[in-house]
Structure 1
Amino acid sequence: MIVGLGEDGADGLPPASLRALDAAEIVIGPARHLSLLPDLDATRVEWPVPFAEGLTLLHGYRGRRVVALASGDPFWFGAGSVIARGLEPDEWRALPSPSSFALAASRLGWALETTVCLGLHATPLARLRPHLARGERAILLLRDGAAVADLARYLVAKGFGASHLTVMEALGGPRERIMPVRADALPDTVFTHPVAVAAKFDGTGRALPCASGISDDLFTSDGQITKRPVRALALSALAPQPGEVLWDIGGGSGSISVEWCLSHPRNTATCVETRPDRAAHIRSNAQSFGLDHRLSVVEGMAPDALADLSAPDAVFIGGGLSEALLDELHARLASGTRLVAHAVTLESEALLAEWSGRIGGDLMRIELASAAPLGTRRGWVPARPIVQWQVVL
């Protein structure tokens, strides 16, 4: 049994949860949750650290009446899905209580369906980056009271110091405290766990666009980057769909992979890059955009570096194009995989022309020019033309 427990302990539990606790032989959970329980006949077991050891302990109680305690709604940024994953469907049942998100929204009158909800207990604050925009609202669960100051500093650094924060401690219990503050004027106050922060973002910081083609200056690079307009065309050709996997070969700065991951919260990408300095740029960009959990880097030369990667839904070749690479991809990838390749040299153009004649697809020549000073006036400065090949294998 997985029982969600609020900060008011058993007093706020529904009858079914109380019956489950009364009937339990063993109750396992964090020390804070165990301290909120009334006297029970069950043996109390503190969930150990690291968390995985508790799963082993829990599985050892199979066949007995066990209650595992979790916060509020165990399946809303909680431990419920991890606990249930290792059990058979008939071995467990969940009895949730109101989540911290629901309690926070009820205090503020916010509609949860239009509010970003994030659990940042063990994840970097950079996960907020895609959501930072004036007027947007978010409810954030933090690891401890000290993380409130970390959050405020992060928002100030990103230009959102004017954001209005509502710090909420121990929601739903006798220790509940709610304090409205500004991110750039956080008082010298000690906040206690558990803590949730509701944020209405404000300030002069830059929001990320919803369309493909993020400004180049938001990326760390040595100049080896698929430029904004060309990147937008590449993403359009790659056509990311929810939950898909991308191989980005010749990653450079990782800009294609970043925008692929930003297109949907379940999309993942792997960049293949030969140069360690550029691989470092890719990792830096993944962290800056809050995507380090969904964007990975493999250092090496394709096709050899592709050997241990799981199958992709789409592949982008921005560098390292060769006959051997195309042969490997054509032989290895499943039917329906989308492939987009860019060429800037005559030799690589010829290779794409040959392969498009062999297996089909669309060829497009991209020629762009930018206005630049020309004496006392301005003129067009053309960029190197790029040939794009788009095909479904």
Structure 2
Amino acid sequence: MEISQLDRISYSILLQETLELRQVLQSIVNSQDTIDNYDIFIPFLPIMSSVCLGWCDLFTKEGIKIEIPDIEGYSCVRFLKNCRIGLKLYCDQRIGKATKQLKKNSEETYRLLKTDYNIFQRLVVSMLGQCDFGVFTINELPYGNTSQLFLYISDVINFERYKSLGVWETEARKVVFEFSNLLSQFINTIIDSFAKSNMIDKDSQIELVKFNFSYNDYFLIDEKRRNILKGDLPIENQLQLFNILCQNNFIINVLPLVFQSGGLLYHRSRLQTYLVSVNTVKKIINKFPNEKYQKQLKEIVEVKEIYFDKDSVLRNNIFHYKIEGVDDSIFSIPEKYFYEFIEFNSRVEFNDFMQVISEEIIKINKVIYKMVEFC
């Protein structure tokens, strides 16, 4: 079957993002002595999954068979779809399912925490409590949390099968590393098939000295001692917002500052998390009106609707790697295909458009900080 010009353009854009992703992974591998891969890969999984699933979808449409090993008997492609949803988990009809899943995951974690303890330790927990929610920060900005991991791998690892948190954590780490390794191998295969491996800097490393990475435990499910997410909204909705806040911070801070990602991978990820953020905040505020945030949120939604209406070609193509709905005549420079696509659909110069997106994400974050009372 002959490949259309739009498909060739789609391949070209996706390959550029894949090369950028591969360079980030190389930096992580070279920095294993100074960085905990497990902590980084949790918020990074949705981005890796989106790129890999983009290739899976393109190959499937071209009739090219791909084989990726299962993980713990679970389809890797389905795993990709679940993790990719992590970036857009709160869109459209998924919000109701997400709220129930978040609360269930947190309650199950609290159960697992207590199962590792003896009678005396359980007595101490009953008196003093037990932290049940972990947050990863960079320069005091939250970029990941433990509930994200549960969302991504809950279909692979059923919490209810385990009697202790230690066993579950060991299994979770195993799955995260196995999944990450499979994706890395898949990405390497793609790059090798296009003869682009020479474009990867094999010596690149991440310099962490100037960044303050930390991890802190909080009380969340234990309502009497809760010291995080103390806003007025139901806890599951605050968790949704906090997950978005973490993903936003990871994409606009960790990706460019730590991983030196500043190309198409970074740009698309910003657009994806922006659209998810606006959609989720809009739905939650419609369900739980609040005069304190109404004006700010209305302005945020209005800006989004200037560039992305319900049937927006731009919006649809941000989440899918097969470009559709435009004429191939708008493209002229291979290295600039993505930029040309954005400029054609937004009617705004690319850098100016992305500046608006970044500013809006920061506005969204400020509102979320207030709504969940995180400081």
TM over 0.5: no
Q: TM-score range by the shorter chain?
A: under 0.3
TM-score (normalizing by structure 2) = 0.20
TM-score (normalizing by structure 1) = 0.20
Kindly indicate which of the two structures has a greater share of residues assigned to strand. Answer: 1
Greater Rg over alpha carbons, structure: 1
